[in-house]
Amino acid sequence: MPFFDETGTRYRERLEAAKTAVRLVSATPELVSASRDMTRSARLLAAERATRSVDTMPVDKFDSLWASERRFVELARVELGLPEEFDMARTGPENDVDNRL
What percent of the chain shows pLDDT beyond 70? 78
**Rounded CA Rg of the chain:** 15
**CA angle 14-18-21, nearest 5°?**
140
- Residue-level pLDDT at 4: 62
Computed over every residue of the chain, the mean pLDDT equals 82
d(CA 50, CA 7): 13
Q: Is the pTM of this model over 0.85?
A: no
- Quick one: average pLDDT of 67-86? 89
